[in-house]
């Protein structure tokens, strides 16, 4: 993904998927269509999802960034 000044940005995805087979299909699709600029983290349950998103929000808040 690029913007007007050709600076590259990564696509970060947190996926909640309890089926390992479906998670792999989703990952393959995203990598095929968005390439190596994509970072995909998959969690299998609500507790792990909340933990992962809470860590992301805390990190963004410390850096002064936005989601």
What does the pLDDT read at residue 55?
79
Instruction: Report in angstroms the alpha-carbon separations of 12 from 15, 36, 40, 51.
Output: 10, 11, 6, 16
In the chain, what percentage of residues exceed pLDDT 70?
69
Range of the domain at 27: 11-63
- Domain membership of residue 3 (yes or no) is no
- Domain membership of residue 42 (yes or no) is yes
What does the pLDDT read at residue 3?
47
- Domain membership of residue 21 (yes or no) is yes
- pTM above threshold 0.85: no
- Domain membership of residue 2 (yes or no) is no
Closest CA to 15 of 24, 4, 7, 5: 24
- Domain membership of residue 5 (yes or no) is no
Q: How many domains does the chain have?
A: 1
């Amino acid at each position: 993904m690029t913007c007007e000044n050709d600076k590259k940005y990564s696509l970060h995805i947190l996926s909640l998927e309890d089926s390992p087979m479906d998670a792999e299909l989703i990952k393959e699709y995203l990598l095929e269509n968005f390439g190596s600029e994509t970072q995909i983290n998959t969690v299998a349950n609500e507790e792990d999802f909340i933990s992962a998103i809470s860590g992301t929000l805390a990190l963004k808040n410390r850096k002064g960034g936005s989601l």
